[in-house]
A and B are shown apart, each in its own frame.
Chain A
Amino acid sequence: MNLLLKEVAYNTFKQKPKTENIEVDLSVKFGIDKEKFEERVIFLELNMDGNTDDDDNNEPTRKLFVVAIFQYKAPLSKYEDFKKNHSEKEYREELLENQAQDDQEHLIVFLKRINDLVINMTSFDDNRTTLDIEPAIEMYETENV
C-alpha cells in the first residue's frame, strides 16, 4: 500500500464562532492498472469548508483541502483455490463479484489514514475544535457502496 499526498492546504480565518458549520465534501475515484489487474488506485479529493452558523452573516471560519492517491494490490491470492477448481470465466465472475468488497475495505483503510492526517493538521489550535471526517467514513462503511 502506498499513500501519495499531492496537495494539502489548511486555512484559518478570523472568525471563531461558538458554533460553526463544517461542510465535508469527499470524493473518490477508483482506477485499475491496464496491464496488472491486481494493481489498484484510489484518487481522493477532500474539501472541508467551515462557516459561521449564522443565516444573516455567513462567513468562512476555515478551509481544508486534501488531494491524495492511494495505491494498493488487490488480494487476488485468496481466490487461487477457487481458480484451480473453476474455469477462467467463473474465476473472472467471482472476482468481479468480490472485488467491490475488497476495494471497499481498502477504501476504508485509506479514509482512516486521511482522517488521521486531518486530525493532526487541525489539532494544533487550542481555540478551535479538531476536525475529522469520521461521519463521512461511517457513511461509506454503512452504505456499503
Chain B
Amino acid sequence: MKLNFKAVNEFNSQNMMDHKNKEIIRATKYNLIDISEPLMIAFEQLNTYYFVYALQNRTIAMKNGEIADVQELLIAQTTLKTIVDLLEEKIDISSSLFSCKDEVYRVGKVGNKVFPAKKIENFEQVDSKLPIKGVNLDKTLPNKTNLKKILKILKSELNYREKFLISDHKIDKKTNVRFSTPHKIDDYGEYVLSGITEKNSVVQMINYEVEV
C-alpha cells in the first residue's frame, strides 16, 4: 500500500505545522489541537479524511553550531464519523488515530532531509509520543481551537453525506493539466491559451491522468 496524497508532497517542501505558512495543505483543514502551534489537524481531500498528529516538532542545535528543525508527523486515514466521534468525546485521541489501522504512516524530516513515509503497524510503535489511552479531546486540554464550531460544521457535513452513496474509484475521475500561459495580454485584450502569436510564444504541455 502506498501513501498517496498531496500532503506528503507539501510536507517535503514546507513546514506543515507552521502557523506562518498558510499554504500548507491544499485541502479543507481543521485544527483540532492548537497550543502554541498546531498539534493535531484533520483534513479532507474529496471525501477522504486524514488526521495529522505532530509526534515531534522542535529545533535542535547541532555540534557544528548550526540549527535544524526536526519534525515527525503521524498521518492516518480516517472517516468523518470518527472525527465527529472524537469531537463528541466518544473515543479518545489515540484510538481515533488508529481507527483505520491499515492507513497509518509516519513521515519525518531533519532540516531539509526528508525521510520516506513509513507504515505504523500498531499503537505500541509510537505510544511514547502520543497521549495515553483515555485522553479525550475535551476542555481539560489547553487548546486555542473552537471545537464546538468545528463539531457543528462537521456534524452537518456528516448528515448531508450520509444521505448519499458516494462512489469509490470506479467512477472517480481525476485530471491533471499542466500548461504555460503568456503573462501579457495582447493589445486587443485577447487571452491566448495556446498556439503561437506574434508577441507571445506559448508552449503548451498537457499531461493528464484519468482514473476510472
Contacts and interface: CB of A to CB of B under 8 A. Distances in A.
Contacts of B167: 29-31
A63 B173 CA distance: 22
Given A67-B28, A139-B208, A25 B176 contact: yes
Contacts of B176: 23-26
A84 interface: no
Contacts of A34: 163-165
Interface in B153-212: 161, 163-167, 171-185, 191, 193, 203, 206, 208, 210, 212
Contact of A28 (B161, B172, B191): B172
A144 B83 CA distance: 36
Contacts of A131: 181
Contacts of B184: 18, 129
A134 interface: yes
A33 B162 CA distance: 9
A23 B182 contact: no
Interface residues of B, number: 37
A135 B47 contact: no
Nearest to A19: B180
Nearest to A26: B175
A90 to B, nearest CB: 23
Nearest to A41: B164
Contacts of A27: 46, 172-175
Interface string B19-61: 0001100111000000000000000011100000000000000
B171 A22 contact: no
B46 A20 contact: no
A28 B175 CA distance: 9
B166 A136 contact: no
Nearest to B44: A67
Given A20-B181, A22-B180, A26-B175, A43 B46 contact: yes
A129 B177 contact: no
A128 B176 CA distance: 22
A145 B164 contact: no
Given A23-B178, A29-B172, A128 B183 contact: yes
Contacts of B47: 29, 43
Interface in A63-108: 63, 65, 67, 100, 103
29 contacts: A6-B28, A11-B23, A17-B183, A18-B182, A21-B178, A22-B178, A23-B177, A24-B176, A24-B177, A25-B26, A27-B172, A28-B173, A29-B47, A32-B164, A33-B165, A43-B46, A47-B6, A47-B26, A65-B26, A103-B171, A129-B182, A131-B181, A132-B193, A134-B193, A136-B177, A139-B177, A140-B173, A145-B173, A145-B210
Interface of B: 6, 22-23, 26-28, 45-47, 161, 163-167, 171-185, 191, 193, 203, 206, 208, 210, 212
Interface of A: 6-7, 11, 16-35, 41, 43, 45, 47, 49, 53, 60, 63, 65, 67, 100, 103, 128-136, 139-140, 143, 145
The 5 closest A-B pairs by CB, nearest first: A31-B164, A31-B166, A24-B177, A18-B183, A45-B46
